[in-house]
Structure 1
């Protein structure tokens, strides 16, 4: 019995050493899944103003600002973190304590720890609040369709087009990181890309154009129709 007891103690000691010496990247990821539902089969019929939808708001915001090459895409996976889809993003979320989620904390860090890092612009207070609200609502992999209530008549650059581009595209196409040399955070450049057909060709994933957003599925039909309506109306800076 004494021999068996000694062997058991030795085993525990070695196990603890192995745990301490195991690199963080090799440790199993523990995900708080207490309230996380499976991927929805169909989107909600209508978008609720009180709900933050992952597919429409959070995913494009994260992928366009964080999942670029050299950062948190599937190839670069900086620090072992991938932020290209729900399965990977939810690993950085703690539903039981939203403000302690790595995803949210990184947005509020300063210096080299801030995400996205300089020279990229940091998330606005509104964007940070959006991510936090999504986590507080259960960090669901939810989606909605607002086609029935899509306003393609009262479209303007400032209230319709610019917000869509800021959510889905500006992370890669800004003055700090102008992918392909295109800065879609300015009206002048957006108008040029709209006039030459490249904007619509990209957001509709038309043949011969680079699909945009490239890391996610294409824009919803409402957003596409609104941008096309703005172009048809003369691409005004309104």
Structure 2
């Protein structure tokens, strides 16, 4: 019985610790400033996706990214789920050796990528 006592103690301690830790709620992006679609995200899209001719009015690709609705629908944006959003994946994950926008254009800066990420995480609002 003496040999089992430490095992039982560690089991109970581990179980209590596990369930106590699971009860903490973390609310992401609450301490961060709101990212505005019109003031921050759309200018990033305009300078990197539409001005290059790919997704603008003189598009070379199959769709435009000229409005909030275009970005949400054609960009495959899933509000509050940046990693599940097509737009975030194409600017962060290399496809055929490069990320969007493709060469000779420069990829988005880390700050621009973070702004897009936060905007989606905060609900991809039309603000």
TM category (shorter chain) comes to 0.5 to 0.7
Q: Runs of at least 4 residues of structure 1 off by over 3 A?
A: none
Aligned residue in 1 for 2:70: 88
RMSD of aligned residue pairs (Cα, Å): 1.8
* Unaligned residue ranges in structure 1 (runs of 5+): 1-48, 143-238
In structure 1, C-alpha distance between the alignment counterparts of 2:90 and 2:46, rounded to whole Å: 15
Aligned residue in 1 for 2:12: none
1:111 Cα deviation after fit: 5.2
1:102 Cα deviation after fit: 1.0
1:68 Cα deviation after fit: 2.5
Is residue 104 of structure 2 the alignment partner of residue 119 of structure 1? yes
Work out which structure has the larger RCO, using CA pairs closer than 8 Å and 6 or more positions apart in sequence: 2
1:78-99 alpha-carbon deviations (Å, 9 max, x no partner) = 0x22111111001120115221
In structure 2, C-alpha distance between the alignment counterparts of 1:137 and 1:105, rounded to whole Å: 17
1:140 Cα deviation after fit: 0.6
TM-score (norm 2): 0.65
Q: Does the Cα contact within 8 Å between 2:49 and 2:101 map onto a contact in 1?
A: yes
* Unaligned residue ranges in structure 2 (runs of 5+): 1-31
Give the number of equivalent residue pairs: 93
**The one of 51, 58, 81 aligned to 1:75:** 58
TM-score (norm 1): 0.36
In structure 2, C-alpha distance between the alignment counterparts of 1:111 and 1:77, rounded to whole Å: 18
